[in-house]
Amino acid sequence: MKNYAVTIGIPVYNVEKYIRLTMDSALAQTFDDIEFLVIDDCGTDSSIDIVREYQQTHPRGNDIRIIRQPGNRGIGNARNRIIDETRSPYLFFLDADDKVKTSAIELLYDVLKQHDAQIAFGSYERIEDYGGEIRKSTYQYPQLSFEKEETFATWAYRQYNGIQATTWNCLISVELLRKHQLRYKEINYWEDFIFMMDLPTYITRAVLVSDITYTYYCHTNSLSRFQSRDCIAKSEIEETISAIENVKSHSDRIMTKDYFPQRMLKVMMTDFYIICTILRNHKVITPPFSNRELRDIMRSPLSLMTILSFKTSLIKNLVLYVLGILPPSMSVVVIKLLGRKYIQ
């Protein structure tokens, strides 16, 4: 049984249109010592047949390992299975409809080793394709390293876009994941948001890389965002709200940390943006949300006294707290005013 330096973990479910792009980019890595761990989440198309074809014909086919789930368990369960099954000290998650730059693993591994870090984040490009309308953007980190306790968490929570709430495009220590029993929630939406909102609190040494190492694709009817959809089920959004509630209600361990007010602000601002998205897409959401339901999304898990004790981000946290206790119709009016540029 061969051990590898790095595992690229790829959950696969009904991605036959994209899996060749993904596998080609993974197998083209300049870094030699990689296991390609594919989780077959029991889809209904030919995705896994295509992976088996690579397994049999590609020069690196012997490094591809396929594990079949007992049934369709979802992305969170598949990623947990990867954490459990990897034989490598470092893990890189790759979504089965994205691609990774040829030099990505070599670059991230080298910088991670150079700084004796627990995690290395690469920058990425985002390509949106909604019915032929293609938009490209990049999210580029500054070149930074963090080597003291809480410095990375403080940076990650310092602003809303500090660290992206996705778990692909970072090379992470498997020992760290297993030591702290870090797991994905087995839900259909935003499991990576829950994971990434907690992960920085366990990391002491991290590196950010400004090089673009990953291409993230958003397709028509993608579950990764609500925009550009003809019909959005209310239950889908409620699952996303539930994921945010999970983060809001499990904060006792870090409430005394200096970065906690900034983390709470980031979580509550996520609620705020969700409401703006609901208001912007209200015509295609069925059934509709009531004003009371929208107001209740903004309810803070903290007491007013706790928020007043914050030494940082006090005013913004206080404003968001008030949005959760105003009469429903008034709360929605204020949200519309504050978030008008996101709702239009």
The predicted structure's pLDDT at residue 341: 86
β pairing state of 99-100 and 206-219 = antiparallel
Percent of residues, the chain, with pLDDT higher than 90: 78
**Domains of the chain, with CATH numbers?**
6-219 (3.90.550.10), 232-343 (no CATH)
The predicted structure's pLDDT at residue 186: 83
Rg (CA), the chain: 21
For the ranges 139-153, 179-193, 265-279, 317-331, the lowest mean pLDDT is seen at 179-193
**pLDDT at residue 333 tops 90:** yes
Do 127 and 78 touch, CB atoms closer than 8 A? no
Which whole number is the average pLDDT over 133-157?
Answer: 91
| Higher per-residue confidence, 94 vs 233 | 94
Which whole number is the average pLDDT over 167-178?
Answer: 96
Alpha helix ranges (H) inside the chain: 19-27, 47-57, 75-85, 104-114, 151-156, 174-179, 191-198, 234-248, 260-280, 291-297, 304-308, 314-323, 328-338, 340-343
pTM, to two decimals: 0.91
The predicted structure's pLDDT at residue 71: 93
Structure tokens at 210: 């400004």
Q: What is the pLDDT of residues 1-34, one digit of tens each?
A: 788 999 999 999 999 999 999 999 999 999 999 9
Which whole number is the average pLDDT over 41-49?
Answer: 95
Cα separation, 92 vs 5, in Å, equals 11
Long-range contacts of 151-156 (CB under 8 A, 24+ apart): 152/200, 152/203, 152/204, 152/205, 152/206, 153/200, 153/201, 153/203, 153/257, 153/259, 153/263, 154/258, 154/259, 154/262, 156/200
pLDDT band at 221 (very low <50, low <70, confident <90, very high): very low
Q: What is the pLDDT of residues 275-298, one digit of tens each?
A: 999 999 999 999 999 999 999 999
Which whole number is the average pLDDT over 159-185?
Answer: 88
Q: Among 4, 66, 53, which Cα is nearest to 24's?
A: 53
- Partnered with residue 137 across adjacent β-strands are 126
Which whole number is the average pLDDT over 240-257?
Answer: 88
Structure tokens at 164: 């992206």
